[in-house]
Structure 1
Amino acid sequence: METIIQITAGKGPAECTWVVAQVLKTFMEEAKAEKIEVEVLEKENGTENGTINSVLLFLSGKHVSEFSKKWMGTVQWIGKSKFRKFHKRKNWFIGIFELEKLNWSTITEKDIKYQASRSSGAGGQHVNKVSSAIRATHIPTGISVQAMDSRSQHQNKKLAKQRLLLKLNDKKLKEYQEQFQQQWNNQLQVQRGNPVRVFTGSDFKKRKTDHTYKKQRQALKQQLRNESE
């Protein structure tokens, strides 16, 4: 399973770009622990050292969907500004979004058309008599490449397929980058409230949720004592 996600500071200030960089580190660590492969497709650094405006990630693995769902939405960091010492604001927000899946399917041999032709250039009589060059065309997109490196038609066919797959991968990456650029140009608005993750302090620790209800029990006991007196 595969997906593309974007971690972005949106229109946020330098503090938010620092949060993006910290979230990226945590995200990569958790992905590795869950055996999710992560590839950085595009990264835009912030104005301050060690900060990131936006990063585009390609995720692949067995449990990608479950993993990404835990991150989609707004991430909050509670802490003092690292760049403005006397700034009063302590809540900073960034966004994590999933990009629309492009209409790409797995490439199979049925999608590739091979055509043999005579090689051009140096090669003597062999070039004129044997059709050793191979052109490989990806039928759905019309993208084609040619291989004439070898005198072996079989070897040129392998080379042509390899080059075609590389070219198709480049096209796929460019389409993702264009999609990312379009979203960035639209200046994604990071929504505050109901964050999916909350981190605190300069050490960027995840804020734990208190599930013990200790305070509630103590308050209830005190209330009962007051009523019994």
Structure 2
Amino acid sequence: MRPRLVWNVFRGFWARQHVVPGRRHLSCSNLPLEELFARGGPLRTFLERQVGSEAQLQVRRPELVAVAKLLSDKEQELQETQHLLHDENEDLRKLAENEITSCEKEIAQLKHQIILLLVPSEETDKNDLILEVTAGVGGQEAMLFTSEIFDMYQQYAAFKRWHFETLEYFPSEIGGLRHASASIGGSEAYKHMKFEGGVHRVQRVPKTEKQGRIHTSTMTVAILPQPSEVNLVINPKDLRIDTKRASGAGGQHVNTTDSAVRVVHLPTGIVSECQQERSQLKNKEMAMKKLRAKLYSLQLEKETSKRYNARKIQIGTKGRSEKIRTYNFPQDRVTDHRINKSLHDLETFMQGEYLLDELVQSLKDYANYESLVEIISKKV
């Protein structure tokens, strides 16, 4: 099957599932997958080749072959059980109904397992990350919104039981936020957060607006995976480290000692600064953590740009210019434009718990399907 046809099949059933706003949870386990898994369909053909080609089992994932066989057996069982729905015995018909419900649930779970087995994990999925937020268009209102988004992610980290450490915090005069960064670490933190990078737009009436007019403001989120010592090695000779006094509204502790640290990576010109702490040593550690994340992201961009350029959902390693999400307060709605999914109850969403996690899961599901379509297109 040609790649374009495979993609059209995929896009069709996904679009039908994501045009209705609301709190409905959409995950791989309850998405209708009939079109991809249909007999003669692209995914079914691919799976049948995996199961039927005994000579190639050594180079296939044993788990995939096993689950594909289980799926085939369970579907056969479902088909046989459905014939009992027409039996004259009422008790047997009720028993068949219960068995069919159980079979359908198991089939959905097996399809979910197949998708997870087919889609390879990214090298960075288990990494920690650096979160950066920056106010965009909209003056003080943009800075207030930036502060709210930063707080939302801090609460989301607590909800996921991740570690959250503020690295930079540059507040505005009226309680907003010009720029901030934080280190987030925990179970699959980057895997969950990697699609949050991009431009976030807010539409609402600012508190300072006397005419009641709705204003539009923006802020940018960047998500940078933190590399391990093995992933990235920095030559100390490539660094220039400067110290200075922390000053202005940026530092939480403005002082008279040379505690602020500025690190320059000479080959690339990338700069990382920190004046958050009183300790120069601590600030240097934080600045190096940010620098390593920036260099690693630059490395990943070069490696993955060709692979991801064709995808609708991009990884947010840089503060990309695409508008990914709109927070519409008059309509009490947040919309992610990449998957055309809307959720209501903005107050709850901004608390960074279940609703944000639902949207994050939907983005992960969509990204998995994009990867799946690529795999099938190449192999069928």
| Greater Rg over alpha carbons, structure | 1
TM-score normalised over the length of structure 1: 0.50
TM-score normalised over the length of structure 2: 0.32
Structure (1 or 2) with the greater strand fraction? 1
